[in-house]
Amino acid sequence: MELTGRVVVLTGAAHGIGAAMARRFAAEGARGVVVSDVDLDAARAVAADITDAGGRAVACRADATSKVDLQQLVSRAREEYGPVDLFCSNAGMAFGTGVHAADEQWARSWAVNVMQHVYAAQAVLPTMLARHRGYLLITASGAGLLGTPGDAPYSVTKHAAVGLAEWLAITYRPRGIQVSALCPLGVRTALLEPGIAAGHPAAIAIAAAAPLLEPSEVAESVVHGLGTEEFLILPHEAVRETYARKARSVDDWIDRTIHGTITTIPEG
C-alpha cells in the first residue's frame, strides 16, 4: 500500500511507536490521520505536529478496548476524510508478571493486546469489504513469535495477536484486504524503558536480544512493510533469523532460551 492519499486511523498513537507512525504516515502524504489514545492531550499534540508540518490530522480520545469507541473512530474518520484505508490497532499493555498474575492483569492484557484487534477488524471490515480494498496493521511484538521470559500475560496475548492476524490474512486477503503484523523487539518507549531501568527480567531479556530501536526507525520499517505488503513486518532483522531457527527445533529453542536468559519469573 502506498500511503499517499490514504485515510489512516491509529490507536495508542499519542506516544512511542504509534505517534511515530502517525507522523510518518502524514509525511508520506496521507489524506488524513486520526490520532487516537486515552491520553487526549498527548494525542492532540501529535495531531498538532502533523498539521503544523502541513499534513491533515485530528485527535480523538478512544479506549482501544471499547468496541463502541473503535466504531466511533471509523465514523469520525469517514466524516473528516472519507472511508478508512488503513487501520492500525497499536495500543499495547505489559505488566511484567508471571503465570500467577492477578486475574485483572490477565483480563486487561487480553483486552488490550487481543480484543482491541478484534474490535478494530469488526469496526472497519464492512466498509473495506464493500470497497474490495483496505489494510489492517496489528501491532503485535517479537514476543508474539519468540516469547518473553518473565512476562506470561504479554507473551501469551502477543502470540494470540499474531494468530489473529494470520487468520484475518487467510480469510480476507482473497477479498482485497491486506493484513500485517508488526513484530519489533526492543524499542525505546515508555512500555520498555522503565522495566530496563528497574532491572526487570522480561525487559532485560528483550533489551539483550537485539539493539534497541527508536520509534521513528520502527515507523520507517512499517512504511516499507506496507509498501511491499509483507505479512510480518520485522524492524529487527534478528527476529526473522531467530524465528526460523525456532521453527527448525522448538525443543532446542526452549533449551537455548532457558540457558541464555534470566529465568527468574515474578509470581505476582
Q: Of 106, 91, 149, whose CA–CA distance to 268 is shortest?
A: 106
C-alpha 156/C-alpha 136 separation (Å) is 21
pLDDT in tens, 93-131: 888 889 999 999 999 999 999 999 999 999 999 999 999
Left if phi > 0, otherwise alpha if psi is -120 to 50, otherwise beta: which for 77?
alpha
Decide if 243 is catalytic: no
C-alpha 237/C-alpha 18 separation (Å) is 20
What fold characterizes domain 7-260?
Rossmann fold (3.40.50)
Domain limits of the chain?
7-260
C-alpha 150/C-alpha 136 separation (Å) is 30
pLDDT at 251 over 70: yes
pTM value? 0.91
Of 81, 119, 135, 154, which one is the catalytic site residue?
A: 154
pLDDT in tens, 182-236: 999 878 876 666 666 666 666 666 666 667 889 999 999 999 999 999 999 999 9
pLDDT at 168 over 50: yes
